Structure 1
Amino acid sequence: MGASTQEQPRRRVTEQQRELRFDAGALCLDLVATVGRRPLVPVERMGDAARLAAWCQGTGVTPRPGYDAAAALASLHELRTAAFDIASSAVDGHVPDGQALALVNRLARAHPPVPQLELTPDGARSSPDHELLTVQQLLSVIARDLIDLMSDDARRSRLRACASDACRMIYLDRPRGRARKWCSMQRCGNQAKAANHRRKSAT
């Protein structure tokens, strides 16, 4: 019999790793972050209608009522794959896939809603009626956000991947100060510190 293939150790998926993230620094990156633990064992964080609604609420984009959640998820997942390929290219230097670029450019062609102002007791505010997006407009807003990010040399140079092998989230680092190593000090940073402390204690 031939030698058996050595399997990678399984890692427990915690509730924290299933949580939606809204701290990547850009709308397009928050979409990319709906998959966790790249590239080890990807964790789907936006796999049903309820999670899609929660993500839209968390990012401040609101689809018009009555949209097809299954179709919207399929389109967002396709855009997410393309956005990850393109955004991560600024981190590791690979050449983005041509089909990913074509998809983003095609989706960006749809016009987002024109912003409107209305007077309220608190002053002039954007009209809620004009904040409701069709699925095509939602996809366009995200695609345009990615294009704006990647075409801005200063912002693109601040794209990072979390140093945690169990995370690797792509995030936009702050413009000033010391470069961040972790997506969040409260999450991966503290976990790395704790693991380092345990290793030192064991020796």
Structure 2
Amino acid sequence: MGAAPQAPRTRVTARARDLRFDAGSLSLNLVATAGRRPVGPLERMGDAERLAAWCGGVGLTPAPGYDPDALLRSLHALRDAAYDIASSLLDGRRPSPASVNLVNELAAPEPPAPRLELTPDSVRPAPGSALLPEDALLSVVARDLIDLVSDASRRERLTRCASEVCRMLYLNPPSGRPRQWCSMRRCGNNAKAAAHRRRKAATDEGRRAPESGST
């Protein structure tokens, strides 16, 4: 067997550990809670505080009394399955049957229907209608992944960040120029800065070469 691929050496900064909410879909935002896949995954949602921050960022509210550790384990398992399935679409391979079975199992429960209620002056979401039991929350995320796989237009927009360090999966916008990087402010700027350093190093080396050859 060949050696496992090695991730480029780079510092793990606080920014690298930031949660990402710009992948273009709920299920891909979950996948993005583990950075730098497939080599050396970086955990971004490893405790109850990060779990609450992620749920708030994607607009999912667990029902009171949920067990953060149990929900984290379930989301991590769903995250691995979602990554396996989504990346298989880009790599032209067959995902693991276990991943497909898990997504189908978690998608089976029917999420509660949202409800409205009248107020004296207008209308508003009914209190508690957005609270999701654990099985319903997992179902919402799993169904989003199934919708992504089922929608040809969304599948065609699925891509992977060109940064060898990042490799985040995301959806390109439906119109406009496809993005090479997950974020111009992040990986795009890093790539441009690295290219500038390489050009400068090559220029400096070219200037030194004639000097070293002189007598």
Same-fold call, TM cutoff 0.5? yes
| Counterpart in the other structure of 2:21 | 22
Contact 2:8/2:164 (CA < 8 Å) preserved in 1? Answer: no
* Distance change in 2, residues 1:166/1:66 (3 Å): same
Structure 2 unaligned regions, length at least 5: 1-5, 203-215
Counterpart CA distance in 1 for 2:177 and 2:18 is: 27
Q: Cα offset for 1:202?
A: 1.4
Structure 2: distance between partners of 1:170 and 1:143: 16
Unaligned runs of 5+ in 1: 1-6
How far is 1:121 from its partner?
Answer: 7.5
Identity of aligned residues (%): 62
| Cα distance change, pair 191–123 in 1 and its aligned pair in 2 (3 A) | farther
Is 1:83 equivalent to 2:90 in the alignment?
no
Tell whether the 8 Å contact from 1:119 to 1:125 is kept in structure 2 after alignment: yes
Give the aligned length: 197
Shift of 1:37: 0.9
3-state SS, counterpart of residue 200 of structure 1: helix
Give the CA RMSD over aligned residues: 1.6
SS in 2 for 1:17: coil
Q: Which residue of 2 aligns with 1:160?
A: 159
Q: CA–CA distance in 2 between the matches of 1:85 and 1:123?
A: 45
Tell me the equivalent position of 2:197: 198
Which residue pairs with 1:4 in the alignment? none
Residues 11-36 of structure 1 deviation map (CA, whole Å, 9 limit, x = unaligned): 32111110000000000000000000
Which deviates more, 26-35 or 178-187? 178-187
1:108 positional shift: 0.6
For 1:169, the aligned partner's letter is: M
User: Quick one: distance in 1 between partners of 2:65 and 2:140?
Assistant: 19
* 2:98 equivalent in structure 1: 99
Secondary structure at 1:15 match in 2: coil
The match for 1:68 is 67
**Aligned counterpart, 1:173:** 172
Tell me the distance in 2 between the aligned counterparts of 1:132 and 1:47. 22
Compared with structure 1, are the counterparts of its residues 122 and 58 closer, same or farther at alpha carbon in structure 2 (3 Å cutoff)? farther
- Say yes or no: does 1:147 pair with 2:146: yes
Instruction: Specify the SS of the correspondent of 2:117.
Output: strand
Alpha carbons of structure 1 residues 35 and 109: separation in structure 2 relative to 1, 3 Å: same
Q: Which has the larger radius of gyration?
A: 2
Kept in 1, the 8 Å contact 2:7–2:40? The answer is no
Show the 5 A alignment for 1:122-137. Answer: 123-137=122-136
Distance 1:8 1:80 in 2: 21
Q: Which residue of 2 aligns with 1:39?
A: 38
- Which string of whole-angstrom CA distances, capped at 9 and with x for unpartnered residues, describes residues 41-61 of structure 1? 110000000000000011110
CA drift of 1:10 comes to: 4.3
